[in-house]
């Protein structure tokens, strides 16, 4: 018995110190990580959605890019979800009921895609409903992470964000290859039906959240009644926070950084229609990028946590732009001339660019969490993250405009090389404004931004691609 107890304690110690970066493996932490894990697992339907839009609904690259921008709208009103969660408790609870509802909405959206959706507008509605489900549950999970992160020491800064995003990456890793392999066996609608079961996990783990009812039953009379005074207080706190120059300047930079046009939709059509990549291989690519995402998280936590924000953004942006130009070799088939197969070239390119992107993205999350004041965590964090998502929508819509101008269709890729050049060069445009970022690092070194302990609750200083699997 002693041996068993000793081994159990040893396992807990290993789990806490090695896998959870010093965080205690409580039921609530398990619940939080499972919410992020489900976000990653929903990637099982990512390729199914893409092929469904391309083959079943017959959309062009520009139309697909425009649609993906539209369905991201729920991620842009995340502050509203933050207000609802923080200020309008259900039966006195601010977190649990909303997680339950989010899971049920997610299941409904995938069931609709699996059964009744036959037109583009129906697809937009169903995918947007799923996006709403993930966005709302993400707000709840983010707020719980922020509440815990504010208790971290400077030396442990970013550890909770790292394991949260690692949970999402692991979920994506597990389903990455299956997303393509299953598409070779089943129809898109069958995969949507399988995916519909995953959001129910979010509803189930809601009961593990450690939460005390807000208010007093006798004083309030009915704890189910909306507390609009709390919402008013949140608005005042939010206004005080975002009026700080040290918040809106970095946020403006991050918007510019992420709003540059993307060629993703055009590339999907190019690889499937022109190069003939099959779903199974695209699943392998997703597996590689999921692994690369984990590598990026580990590298940040191990080596780059103390590197100043400006330096990380500068070099990852420049290197990503340079490496992104390598896609020209694939588009012009020059890779074949130097003896590199299309498949191997695509795998290597995806791996390197994903690591770069994750290294640039982690400090964004850490910076946002450090600067959220008590009592309005979900709302302010959601505001900062929604800026990133608005930028993502702008990126897709600008990409759609460029594809239309360059006449890139499902069968015409003559100007794809020009699109690749324009999208990669545009990523360098925000760099002249890099001084808008604070000069310190994720671990607090550098000295330009005061540590969060020195800030009053309403005077803080700020910042994320989430998604539905599209």
**Residues in contact with 58: Cβ distance below 8 Å, sequence separation at least 6, in sequence order:** none
- Confidence category of residue 410, pLDDT binned at 50, 70, 90: confident
Dihedral angle, C-alpha 457, 252, 83, 72, nearest 10 °: -150
CA distance 234 to 228: 10
Q: Does the structure show a pLDDT above 70 at 441?
A: no
Q: Does the structure show a pLDDT above 60 at 194?
A: yes
Q: What's the pLDDT at 381? A: 67
DSSP-based three-state secondary structure for 165:
helix
Selection from 262, 388, 257 nearest residue 312 by Cα = 257
Mean pLDDT in residue range 292-296: 81
- Give the whole-number percent of the chain exceeding pLDDT 90: 16
Q: Does the structure show a pLDDT above 50 at 209?
A: yes
Q: Does the structure show a pLDDT above 60 at 181?
A: yes
The token pair at 82 is 């933050």
Q: What's the pLDDT at 29? A: 82
Mean pLDDT in residue range 207-218: 66
Q: Does the structure show a pLDDT above 80 at 87?
A: no
Q: What's the pLDDT at 432? A: 92
Q: Does the structure show a pLDDT above 70 at 173?
A: yes
State the chain's mean pLDDT as an integer: 77
- Confidence category of residue 290, pLDDT binned at 50, 70, 90: confident
Q: Does the structure show a pLDDT above 60 at 240?
A: yes
Q: Does the structure show a pLDDT above 90 at 67?
A: no
Q: Does the structure show a pLDDT above 50 at 406?
A: yes
- Report for 14-28, 410-424, 444-458: range of highest mean pLDDT: 410-424
Q: What is the DSSP string of 204-264?
A: HHGGGS--PPPS-HHHHS-TTS--HHHHHHHHHHHHHHHTSHHHHHHHHHHHHHH-S---H
Mean pLDDT in residue range 122-149: 85
Q: Does the structure show a pLDDT above 90 at 364?
A: no
Query: Domains plus CATH for the chain?
Result: 21-209+229-454 (1.20.1250.20)
Q: What's the pLDDT at 217? A: 45
Q: What's the pLDDT at 85? A: 78
Asked if 32 and 138 count as a contact pair (C-beta separation under 8 A), the reply is no
Half-sphere exposure of 256 (CA within 13 A, CB side): 18
CA distance 160 to 367: 13
Q: Does the structure show a pLDDT above 80 at 158?
A: no
DSSP-based three-state secondary structure for 93:
strand
Asked if 443 and 305 count as a contact pair (C-beta separation under 8 A), the reply is yes
Model pTM score: 0.72
Q: What's the pLDDT at 312? A: 80
How many C-beta atoms surround the C-beta of residue 125 within 10 A? Answer: 15
Q: What's the pLDDT at 139? A: 82
Q: Does the structure show a pLDDT above 50 at 313?
A: yes
Q: Does the structure show a pLDDT above 80 at 94?
A: no
Half-sphere exposure of 108 (CA within 13 A, CB side): 14
Selection from 429, 418, 427 nearest residue 327 by Cα = 418
The helix (H) or strand (E) run that includes residue 267 is helix 264-269
User: Which of 38 and 290 is assigned the larger pLDDT?
Assistant: 38
**Residues in contact with 62: Cβ distance below 8 Å, sequence separation at least 6, in sequence order:** 265, 400, 401, 403, 404, 408, 409
CA distance 3 to 153: 34
3-state helix/strand/coil string of 310-365: HHHHHHHHHHHHHHHCCHHHHHCCHHHHCCCCHHHHHHHHHHHHHHHHHHHHHHHH
- Confidence category of residue 450, pLDDT binned at 50, 70, 90: very low
């Amino acid at each position: 018995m002693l041996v068993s107890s000793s081994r159990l304690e040893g396992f807990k110690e290993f789990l806490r110190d090695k896998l959870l970066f010093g965080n205690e493996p409580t039921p609530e932490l398990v619940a939080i990580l499972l919410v992020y894990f489900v976000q990653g697992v929903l990637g099982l339907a990512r390729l199914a959605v893409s092929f469904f839009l391309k083959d079943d609904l017959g959309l062009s690259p520009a139309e697909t890019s425009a649609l993906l921008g539209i369905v991201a709208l729920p991620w842009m009103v995340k502050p509203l979800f933050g207000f609802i969660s923080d200020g309008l408790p259900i039966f006195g609870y601010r977190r649990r009921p909303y997680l339950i509802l989010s899971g049920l909405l997610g299941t409904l959206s995938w069931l609709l895609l699996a059964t009744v959706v036959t037109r583009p507008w129906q697809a937009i509605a169903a995918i947007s409903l799923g996006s709403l489900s993930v966005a709302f549950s993400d707000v709840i999970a983010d707020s719980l992470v922020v509440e815990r992160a504010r208790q971290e020491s400077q030396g442990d800064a970013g550890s909770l964000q790292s394991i949260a995003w690692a949970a999402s990456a692991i979920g994506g890793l597990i389903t990455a290859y299956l997303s393509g392999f299953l598409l070779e066996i089943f129809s898109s609608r069958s995969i949507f039906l399988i995916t519909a079961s995953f959001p129910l996990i979010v509803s189930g783990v809601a009961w593990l959240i450690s939460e005390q009812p807000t208010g007093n039953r006798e004083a309030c009379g009915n704890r189910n009644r909306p507390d609009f005074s709390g919402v008013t207080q949140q608005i005042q706190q939010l206004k005080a926070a975002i009026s700080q120059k040290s918040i809106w300047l970095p946020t403006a930079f991050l918007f510019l950084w992420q709003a540059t046009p993307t060629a993703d939709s055009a590339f999907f059509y190019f690889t499937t229609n022109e190069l003939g990549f099959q779903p199974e291989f695209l699943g392998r690519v997703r597996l590689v990028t999921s692994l690369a995402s984990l590598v990026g998280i580990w590298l940040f936590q191990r080596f780059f946590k103390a590197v100043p924000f400006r330096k990380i953004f500068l070099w990852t942006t420049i290197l990503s732009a340079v490496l992104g130009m390598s896609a020209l070799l694939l588009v012009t088939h020059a890779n074949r001339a130097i003896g590199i197969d299309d498949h191997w070239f695509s795998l290597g390119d995806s791996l390197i660019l994903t690591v770069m992107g994750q290294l640039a993205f982690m400090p964004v999350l850490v910076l946002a969490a450090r600067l959220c004041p008590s009592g309005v965590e979900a709302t302010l964090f959601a505001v900062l993250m929604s800026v990133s998502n608005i930028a993502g929508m702008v990126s897709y819509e600008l990409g759609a405009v460029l594809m239309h101008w360059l006449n890139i269709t499902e069968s015409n890729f003559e100007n794809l090389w020009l699109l690749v050049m324009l999208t990669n060069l545009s990523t360098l445009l925000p760099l002249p404004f890099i001084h808008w970022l604070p000069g310190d690092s994720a671990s607090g070194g550098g000295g330009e931004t005061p540590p969060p302990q020195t800030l009053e609750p309403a005077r803080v200083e700020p910042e994320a691609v989430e998604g539905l699997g599209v």
